[in-house]
A and B are shown apart, each in its own frame.
Chain A
């Protein structure tokens, strides 16, 4: 039965939904959370605790602990208490063997004496053979939720990156006041609220705001103003999860049912931030303080006022704050029997509330506290005691509303590096200093009076506007003056725990950490809260610091009072609210680059691989040895898409100086029409790139880099000339130009058919560079290179012409047997020719000389300060380096797998690339080997993976293996 006529309700009792739980269907109403729907259906035990399998029930409604973490539609650890109920949801209790009500692991609760703080560290390892078995059991009992390894997440996830002048975190009265104040001058304001509605702690309360209105009416009034303001963007149901330097705020928002997204990640950059997150309640520490039926004041009150559910029939209150008295009065008026209210405070209560209690004949015990709750699965009885423990009284009840006081939600502040200081007056950790452009407002600051909450919000909002350059000085002064006339922070309760030993007083519900465990940890030398956390796990469960965050440091300080300890807050960490990976991933999708010839190659059966940012065709058949592709290049002609090659123009008065700085070769010697192969080293002389350079005109050069270096080449040039102030420009043509490599003895015949230039060996010799036009329309830059060891033309053309060029060449080459070859065939071809690929024939520490490329280095251009040459000079005489050598296997049919190592008693090197060569009918490769073993003819032993000590025999042979004179590429 719902209280369906309350003006404060956030449900719509006329719209129902059906949930499936524990083999039954439960009816909920629109606006219910999963937990409130189940509660309405009589569910009191929602799950079992981690270690002791204690029954756990509804304790708060904001998800500070794992009590109501349930599996919803296969998703584990869903906070039932603030997850909207949706029709057809399947709900399961967690950490139960059987059901939540009848869990046969419940006996664990009796074994707590076996599991003191840190018991894992001190047991299960003796004898050593015990541990592997124990480990399996430990894994099984640990963990809360269950998920299948092939679980597939459904739903839509989005992400947005709004910017704002002011971001206000918290949509209560303070936050709304701050947003309205900040927005007055027209600034762009964002307001984040975790609940699906604005209103905060005013939302469900009928206490008077002023003479005319109740608090909930005031909240709705403010909400209407906020929603009406054009320059305030409100994100409701959006929990703040992170706050970073420079006021970067992150949050995730739950989408409305049937909306465009299920959840979305929000990343906000704001000039100024107001934190008005308010307070949660500080759990009361007593025996069985987490028994189902024990709940916090706000939980009991909101169940009734927001969800229309009377949380029990007969309640005992043990509280330390006026909100407890207010709830007792209101719940009494709504029809609940209040057996007694025990207030920790001896005095200081609001006289109006005292009067209200008296009018309703609710007994009030001042200076009393709950000491123990009874009842196996639900509270049946409670013992109250005076604070020093001398007098006790027992009362029967089915609800124990328990709360020690309030705790400010300072998480966002500490994430932003605000320092917290313990304030003895309020009993809160309050910010001692706030970072620039950050403000705190509302009950978070200890204010409790409704007008003061709003006034502090307004002041913070105006200050935030000032951070954005608004001229609010006068308004700030007025708001500050107003706030100073309103009631200041109220005195808070000092009590940390009831006068009990604490064996079953839980300081952290999620990890089943008791007061006794904390004492044990401190006794063992874990004396600061962060260490206690690590040793006892308190505060490291699904709810993080929500439940123990305040009590742990307070209790630790009290227990060590003689050592002069002061309370030190524990560290808050991102995400402040646990957040789905799906939500963080948002609308993530793969981004890669495809060459202009991608579609054509796919049509031709290309097998693609991701190389860096690119997708490239690696094979053109299922035969990954590429025999046909290789032999066709050797015998006829092949065509390779080389568009991923880095391509650059370098021009300007100081272009030559820049080239001289980064290339080891001497670029003064460049002449138009000829290409120069050269390399770049890093400061250690290690080779980082190779490619060709062409002089196009005076002070105008064109050069290529390897695929992986294309993205960094411009940076590299500028980095190494950053102190020089040279005047040159570097333009990256990598995406603008495509490349087709036509290689093989028939290459000239193919190209001559379509080119408007003389391609004879005399007119365009090996090592030459020409510009001409293909079929009267496609301008190409052509280079005669020999990477694969055959007559070869590398054609660079605008990307938009590439498809056309490819088709022209394919048609022209048909009679000569042209076909595609891929990256792996190229790899084999160039290996036979002993042309290196950096990163394959080199490791990080391989220098120019190690690779036998010393001939590229012009040693006489010292004035150019060429990058890497100092190191090369210093290391030239070092005999103890790895050198690149050619190797030939004794067995011509068996090449070692790449990455195999060369060994004798120790490792002497490794195989970079080796293949059984179809062209040569030998098995050959290249290896990096210690210099003393690099001499021709040296016998090598190759150790492959899984070889069981059976090594392969090889010897060092001259390079290259194929066409050593280089005649074929000069044809």
Chain B
């Protein structure tokens, strides 16, 4: 049954001189877009250009939480579609994405927070997505490790419970999509850096790489945290993005003890137990732009302090590995998916911040349709770049908690 150990995403392909579409970035959104371009849009002469190795960036650095309990009706259906795609993709790709449908518990620490969460819950229920508000007693029943005592900095008032959510093995998604895309004929070029995008008369004509020039009428930049810099450098278009370093860490592996994804906005932390038994936890971003993936002493200490309060058993557990990735944040905490404007054939899919993982399959699927047909699908229309100049920010953030340079 395991006799064959062939390259999962094919032998290294040669770089052709012409592709129907070129995708810059070898992360989840790129792989998903390429996969659906080839599988559903009949466009398989597609190249993915990855400077490092596939899944090097955010795809391999996130903590793989999936959910569809966002705040607005523009976002919830997109994330719901993504949530529904995991079992389908597991089958299509014949690759176990290890979806652990454990549910998400989002802790609330005040009456006001419960009211804000009610809007998310109502939005979810209205769209047929399961989501409920819980009181502390119900929380304790679901997750005995949570400290509902009033004697902590932010006592727990309740929670938003979202049973359909959970955790996926993020690397499996990268490799599964790469496997599927390659099987449909997509060329995945690792260690291949795009250095310029060529246009002529308002149209895309090709991409320059350090391995040579590629002709193509379509280019998608979906390079995670590097997108905004690439788009500014190669297309001269500035975006409303700040690239921040986001950090996460895991503890040593434990036998099952935490049964949901537990998160708290107030404590600025989330935690869940991976299938390997580690408690994966993170959330912090230093609020100034960086392309480094350096961790900070400040944060690992903060995380220990926060978890000590709402998951106190973790005081007896050891942190084992701390890492960082990039999050490209927009002012309204919603992504930018746009294209054909003003340069024909130029597309972008970025600004996903720290929620690009959970949406990658659905976003990739619609981007594939956008690229193949040249017309923006209904579902992506609210995510256009022009919303910022039209003062139509998305309502993903409830309130202005603090001001940032972006507002």
Is the A/B pair a real complex?
yes
- Residue numbers in A under 8 Å from B273 (CB-CB): 139
- Residue numbers in A under 8 Å from B169 (CB-CB): 120-121
Contact surface of B with A, Cβ cutoff 8 Å: 2, 5-10, 53, 55-56, 60, 73, 87, 90-91, 94-101, 109-112, 114-119, 121-123, 125-126, 132-133, 143-145, 152-155, 169, 171-172, 175-176, 251-258, 273, 275-277, 294-297, 300-301, 303-305, 307-308, 312-323, 332, 390-395, 397-403, 407
Indicate if the CB atoms of A523 and B321 lie closer than 8 Å: no
Indicate if the CB atoms of A143 and B256 lie closer than 8 Å: yes
Most-contacted residue by chain B among A123, A847, A880, A945 (CB, 10 A): A945
Q: Known A-B contacts: A145-B254, A244-B294, A945-B121. Give 17 more (CB < 8 A).
A: A77-B317, A142-B275, A142-B277, A144-B277, A146-B255, A149-B143, A149-B145, A149-B313, A244-B296, A520-B5, A544-B320, A580-B319, A581-B318, A588-B308, A610-B154, A843-B397, A943-B125
Residue A111 at the chain B interface, CB threshold 8 Å: no
- Residue numbers in A under 8 Å from B320 (CB-CB): 542, 544, 575, 578
A581 in contact with B118 given A683-B407, A685-B391 (CB within 8 Å)? no
Within 8 A of B (CB), among A105-144: 113, 116, 119-126, 128, 131-132, 135, 138-140, 142-144
A147 in contact with B321 given A77-B252, A682-B400 (CB within 8 Å)? no
- Residue numbers in A under 8 Å from B253 (CB-CB): 50, 77, 142-145, 541-542
Indicate if the CB atoms of A898 and B118 lie closer than 8 Å: yes
Contact with A146, one of B7, B126, B254, B323 (Cβ below 8 angstroms): B254
CA distance A626 to B122 in the complex (A): 26
A582 in contact with B308 given A531-B53, A540-B321 (CB within 8 Å)? yes
Min CB distance, A65 to chain B, in Å?
Answer: 12
A76 in contact with B252 given A142-B277, A581-B319 (CB within 8 Å)? yes
A265 in contact with B7 given A76-B317, A906-B73 (CB within 8 Å)? no
Residue A425 at the chain B interface, CB threshold 8 Å: no
What per-residue 1/0 map shows which CB atoms of A882-900 lie under 8 Å from chain B?
0000000000000001111
- Residue numbers in B under 8 Å from A544 (CB-CB): 320-321
Min CB distance, B255 to chain A, in Å?
Answer: 4
A580 in contact with B96 given A135-B275, A899-B115, A945-B118 (CB within 8 Å)? no
Interface size bracket, A side: 35 or more
17 A-B pairs with CB atoms under 8 Å apart are A74-B316, A140-B255, A143-B255, A143-B277, A144-B254, A147-B257, A523-B5, A542-B253, A574-B322, A584-B303, A588-B308, A686-B407, A716-B403, A839-B112, A843-B397, A845-B394, A900-B119
> Closest A-chain residue to B297, C-beta based?
A250
- Residue numbers in B under 8 Å from A631 (CB-CB): none
Indicate if the CB atoms of A682 and B407 lie closer than 8 Å: yes
A844 in contact with B397 given A265-B301, A575-B300, A878-B391 (CB within 8 Å)? yes
Indicate if the CB atoms of B256 and A139 lie closer than 8 Å: yes
Within 8 A of B (CB), among A920-971: 943-947
The 5 closest A-B pairs by CB, nearest first: A143-B277, A899-B118, A584-B304, A149-B145, A525-B7
Instruction: Identify whether the interface residues of B are mostly helix, strand, loop, or mixed.
Output: loop
- Residue numbers in B under 8 Å from A542 (CB-CB): 252-253, 318, 320
Min CB distance, B121 to chain A, in Å?
Answer: 5
- Residue numbers in A under 8 Å from B322 (CB-CB): 573-575
Residue A585 at the chain B interface, CB threshold 8 Å: yes
Indicate if the CB atoms of B318 and A524 lie closer than 8 Å: no
- Residue numbers in A under 8 Å from B171 (CB-CB): 534-535
- Residue numbers in B under 8 Å from A588 (CB-CB): 304-305, 308
Indicate if the CB atoms of A537 and B276 lie closer than 8 Å: yes
CA distance A132 to B295 in the complex (A): 35
Indicate if the CB atoms of A610 and B109 lie closer than 8 Å: yes
Indicate if the CB atoms of B90 and A125 lie closer than 8 Å: yes
Indicate if the CB atoms of A76 and B319 lie closer than 8 Å: no
Indicate if the CB atoms of B317 and A128 lie closer than 8 Å: no
- Residue numbers in A under 8 Å from B116 (CB-CB): 899
CA distance A540 to B60 in the complex (A): 14
- Residue numbers in A under 8 Å from B56 (CB-CB): 530
Residue A910 at the chain B interface, CB threshold 8 Å: yes
Indicate if the CB atoms of A534 and B60 lie closer than 8 Å: yes
> Closest B-chain residue to A913, C-beta based?
B115
Indicate if the CB atoms of B126 and A901 lie closer than 8 Å: yes
- Residue numbers in A under 8 Å from B133 (CB-CB): 945
Indicate if the CB atoms of A122 and B95 lie closer than 8 Å: yes
- Residue numbers in B under 8 Å from A526 (CB-CB): 8
Indicate if the CB atoms of B53 and A528 lie closer than 8 Å: yes
- Residue numbers in B under 8 Å from A143 (CB-CB): 253-256, 276-277
Min CB distance, B169 to chain A, in Å?
Answer: 8
CA distance A366 to B117 in the complex (A): 71
Indicate if the CB atoms of B96 and A523 lie closer than 8 Å: no
Residue A808 at the chain B interface, CB threshold 8 Å: no
Most-contacted residue by chain A among B8, B176, B316 (CB, 10 A): B316
Residue A730 at the chain B interface, CB threshold 8 Å: no
Residue A602 at the chain B interface, CB threshold 8 Å: no
- Residue numbers in A under 8 Å from B294 (CB-CB): 244-245, 417
Q: What total of A-B pairs shows CB separation below 8 Å?
A: 311
Residue A27 at the chain B interface, CB threshold 8 Å: no
Residue A590 at the chain B interface, CB threshold 8 Å: yes
Min CB distance, A109 to chain B, in Å?
Answer: 18
- Residue numbers in B under 8 Å from A574 (CB-CB): 295, 297, 300, 321-322
CA distance A609 to B266 in the complex (A): 14
Indicate if the CB atoms of A900 and B122 lie closer than 8 Å: yes
Min CB distance, A251 to chain B, in Å?
Answer: 11
Most-contacted residue by chain A among B100, B111, B169, B253 (CB, 10 A): B253
CA distance A910 to B392 in the complex (A): 17
- Residue numbers in A under 8 Å from B295 (CB-CB): 242, 244, 573-574
Residue A907 at the chain B interface, CB threshold 8 Å: yes
Indicate if the CB atoms of A244 and B297 lie closer than 8 Å: yes
Indicate if the CB atoms of B119 and A124 lie closer than 8 Å: no
Indicate if the CB atoms of A150 and B145 lie closer than 8 Å: yes
Indicate if the CB atoms of B398 and A844 lie closer than 8 Å: yes
> Closest A-chain residue to B191, C-beta based?
A528
Contact with B9, one of A139, A525, A530 (Cβ below 8 angstroms): A525
> Closest A-chain residue to B60, C-beta based?
A534
Residue A495 at the chain B interface, CB threshold 8 Å: no
Indicate if the CB atoms of A688 and B304 lie closer than 8 Å: no
Contact with A945, one of B53, B96, B125 (Cβ below 8 angstroms): B125
Indicate if the CB atoms of A585 and B332 lie closer than 8 Å: no
Indicate if the CB atoms of B7 and A590 lie closer than 8 Å: no
CA distance A685 to B390 in the complex (A): 12
Within 8 A of B (CB), among A87-119: 113, 116, 119
CA distance A542 to B321 in the complex (A): 9
Indicate if the CB atoms of A524 and B8 lie closer than 8 Å: yes
Contact with B115, one of A116, A151, A590, A897 (Cβ below 8 angstroms): A897
Min CB distance, A158 to chain B, in Å?
Answer: 13
A584 in contact with B123 given A148-B313, A542-B253, A712-B403 (CB within 8 Å)? no
Indicate if the CB atoms of B175 and A684 lie closer than 8 Å: no
What per-residue 1/0 map shows which CB atoms of A532-575 lie under 8 Å from chain B?
00110100111010000000000000000000000000000111
CA distance A540 to B276 in the complex (A): 10
Indicate if the CB atoms of A610 and B110 lie closer than 8 Å: yes
Indicate if the CB atoms of A523 and B7 lie closer than 8 Å: yes
Min CB distance, B114 to chain A, in Å?
Answer: 8
Residue A3 at the chain B interface, CB threshold 8 Å: no
Indicate if the CB atoms of B317 and A581 lie closer than 8 Å: yes
Min CB distance, A723 to chain B, in Å?
Answer: 15
Residue A206 at the chain B interface, CB threshold 8 Å: no
Indicate if the CB atoms of B111 and A131 lie closer than 8 Å: no
CA distance A843 to B98 in the complex (A): 37
Min CB distance, B155 to chain A, in Å?
Answer: 8
> Closest B-chain residue to A537, C-beta based?
B276
CA distance A910 to B118 in the complex (A): 10
Indicate if the CB atoms of B252 and A580 lie closer than 8 Å: no
Min CB distance, B168 to chain A, in Å?
Answer: 12
CA distance A265 to B323 in the complex (A): 20
- Residue numbers in A under 8 Å from B303 (CB-CB): 584
CA distance A76 to B316 in the complex (A): 7
Indicate if the CB atoms of B318 and A77 lie closer than 8 Å: yes
